[in-house]
């Protein structure tokens, strides 16, 4: 087993809550309402992971499985500019974009297959000296939710999802990479009776995700991030801001 790497979030409180950062060889789930910042965090991690170790990165490249077509190159450029200013370095947004490999997933079966393609690509990139240190699935459940409707489909969905989650875990182990997935919370009607903060995906996602982070909106650009589930860290909360320059304290 290789030594676990830690990827900085770029925010001190958030890093501290995570025991240093987002871990490799683990699945980190970001869940929360629309607009809570899941996709923003995913973009920021895709930038941070490319930095050298002195700056909290893993010197790695990134693969994004994009199911909702929400990847925005311009947003990456803004965040790279933000880091250039933060560290007083000249960072080239084009270079960062070249190390982010985005694949659109058109349905849940395609999404599962893309993990195999990601494995092939990561093997190639490893030989080229650009190891993949981050795999993002944004969003994990959107296709599954849309395709498997009605009670009779649940067992089938959970079986597919289980296969997918284990494919992701395997990827993280194989490449010593962080795996970050986004997930939405249950729709409102459920919230009246149950826990409104429950993510979608049931036991399968719950048991396979190593770290679960619940994001919620606060005043202005502030977001509260709660570490809900972790094998080795206490529960906690961190406040961050989502700004044009990226995530900040
Ligand atoms: P969904 O469930 O719909 O996918 P999400 O949790 O992925 O939602 P994000 O897209 O990450 O939500 O967050 C959108 C929010 O991020 C915007 O409402 C805004 O507050 C902030 N944001 C997005 N782009 C910028 C930017 N360029 N500068 C500052 N803030 C931004
Ligand atoms: Mg999103």
pLDDT tens per residue across span 65-83 = 999 999 999 999 999 999 9
Question: Nearest-CA neighbor of 203 among 170, 154, 139?
Answer: 154
163: three-class secondary structure by DSSP: helix
Residue that the structure tokens 């900085």 belong to: 8
Asked if residue 199 lies in contact with residue 226, where contact means CB atoms within 8 angstroms, the answer is no
Taking residues 153-172, what's their average pLDDT?
96
Model confidence pLDDT, tens digit, residues 11-41: 999 999 999 999 999 999 999 999 999 999 9
Average confidence (pLDDT) over 47-61: 98
**Pair 134, 62: CB distance under 8 Å:** yes
- Beta strand ranges found along the chain (DSSP E): 6-7, 22-23, 26-32, 61-66, 100-104, 132-138, 178-183, 211-217, 222-229, 236-243, 246-248
**Tokens 């490319």 found at:** 50
3-state helix, strand, coil in the chain (%, to 5): 40, 25, 35
pLDDT score of 205 = 87
Which protein residue's CA is at the shortest distance from atom 12 of ligand 1? 35
Q: Among 30, 34, 37, which residue has the most ligand 1 atoms within 8 Å of its CB, making it the best to mutate?
A: 37
Residue with token string 């597919």: 160
pLDDT band at 195 (very low <50, low <70, confident <90, very high): low
Q: Could you tell me if 17 and 224 are in contact, meaning their C-beta atoms sit under 8 angstroms apart?
A: no
Yes or no: say if 97 and 61 are a contact pair by the CB < 8 Å rule.
no
Closest-lying ligand to the alpha carbon of 32? 1
Residue 78 alpha carbon, nearest atom of ligand 1 = 27
- The closest-lying atom of ligand 1 relative to the alpha carbon of residue 33 is 2
pLDDT at 8 exceeding the cut of 60: yes
- CA-nearest residue for atom 27, ligand 1, is 244
Q: For 209-217, what is the mean pLDDT?
A: 96
Report pLDDT for 187: 62
Q: Which ligand is nearest to the CA of 72?
A: 1
Query: What residues does 61 pair with on adjacent strands?
Result: 132
Annotated binding site for ATP: 32-39
Mutate to test the pocket of ligand 1, among 35, 41, 180, 186 (most ligand atoms within 8 A of CB): 35
This prediction has a pTM of: 0.96
Question: What pLDDT sits at residue 197?
Answer: 64
Mean pLDDT of 109-125: 98
Distance 181 CA to ligand 2 centre (A): 11
Minimum CA distance residue for ligand 1 atom 18: 35
Cα–Cα distances in Å, from 85 out to 69, 79, 89, 90, 210? Answer: 29, 10, 7, 8, 33
Q: Ligand 1: residues within 6 Å at CB?
A: 32, 34-40, 75, 78, 184, 242-244
| Known binding residues | 32-39
**From ligand 1's centre to the CA of 39, what distance in Å?**
7
Mean pLDDT for all residues in the chain = 94
Residue nearest to atom 2 of ligand 1 (CA): 34
Of 242, 243, 245, 248, the one to substitute when testing ligand 1's pocket (max ligand atoms within 8 A of C-beta) is 242
* Residue-level pLDDT at 191: 45
In sequence order, which residues have a C-beta less than 8 Å from that of residue 79 and are 6 or more positions away? 43, 44, 47, 245, 246
């Amino acid at each position: 087993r290789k030594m676990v790497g830690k990827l900085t979030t770029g925010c001190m409180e958030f890093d501290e809550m995570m025991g240093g950062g987002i871990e490799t060889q683990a699945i980190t789930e970001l869940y929360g309402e629309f607009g809570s910042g899941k996709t923003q965090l995913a973009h920021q991690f895709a930038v941070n992971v490319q930095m050298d170790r002195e700056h909290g990165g893993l010197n790695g490249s990134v693969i994004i499985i994009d199911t909702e077509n929400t990847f925005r190159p311009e947003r990456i450029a803004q965040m790279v500019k933000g880091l250039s200013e933060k560290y007083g370095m000249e960072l080239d947004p084009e270079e960062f974009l070249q190390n982010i490999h985005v694949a659109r997933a058109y349905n849940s079966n395609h999404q599962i297959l893309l993990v195999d393609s990601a494995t092939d690509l990561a093997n190639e990139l490893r030989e080229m000296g650009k190891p993949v240190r981050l795999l993002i699935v944004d969003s994990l459940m959107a296709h599954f939710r849309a395709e498997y409707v009605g009670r009779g489909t649940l067992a089938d969905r959970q079986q597919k999802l289980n296969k997918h989650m284990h494919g992701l875990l395997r990827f993280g182990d194989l490449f010593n990479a962080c795996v970050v997935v986004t997930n939405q919370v249950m729709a409102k009607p459920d919230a009246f009776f149950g826990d409104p903060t429950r993510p979608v995906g049931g036991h399968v996602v719950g048991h396979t995700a190593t770290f679960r982070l619940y994001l919620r909106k606060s005043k202005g650009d502030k977001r509260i991030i709660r570490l809900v589930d972790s094998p080795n860290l206490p529960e906690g909360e961190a406040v961050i801001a989502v700004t044009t320059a990226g995530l900040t304290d």
